[in-house]
């Protein structure tokens, strides 16, 4: 077999923290929409704080979504085994006095 050179260009994305995510599906694809919401406060601004919303969309085929589901479940299991996820108790609803009559 003849060895051939392949030119490969890798473009690394920007690190992104997803505060929110939505998942939808269409014909032959699953759509993951990760949103990042960050307030920007500039003390020099007279317009007040600005909220910056950015999002990244990842689309995969059903086979890739199934693989992602399996891998995520496996990794979450390992993560929980390490005691890293602590389930919080439900916060009881507080009785708030009604000051309006």
Confidence band for 92, pLDDT divided at 50, 70 and 90: low
pTM for the full predicted model: 0.61
- Mean pLDDT score, 17-28: 92
Confidence band for 101, pLDDT divided at 50, 70 and 90: very low
Alpha-carbon distance 34 to 24, whole Å? 12
Domain-by-domain residue ranges, the chain? 20-81
Alpha-carbon distance 81 to 89, whole Å? 19
Asked if residue 35 has pLDDT above 50, the reply is yes
8 A C-beta contact, residue 32 and residue 58: yes
8 A C-beta contact, residue 59 and residue 31: yes
């Amino acid at each position: 077999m003849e060895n051939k050179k392949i030119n490969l260009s890798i473009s690394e994305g920007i690190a992104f923290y997803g505060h929110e995510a939505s998942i939808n599906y269409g014909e032959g694809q699953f759509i993951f929409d990760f949103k990042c919401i960050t307030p920007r406060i500039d003390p020099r601004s007279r317009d007040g704080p600005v909220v910056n919303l950015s999002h990244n969309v990842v689309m995969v085929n059903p086979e890739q979504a199934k693989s992602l589901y399996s891998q995520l479940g496996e990794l979450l299991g390992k993560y929980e085994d390490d005691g890293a996820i602590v389930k919080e108790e439900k916060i009881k609803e507080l009785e708030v006095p009604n000051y309006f009559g």
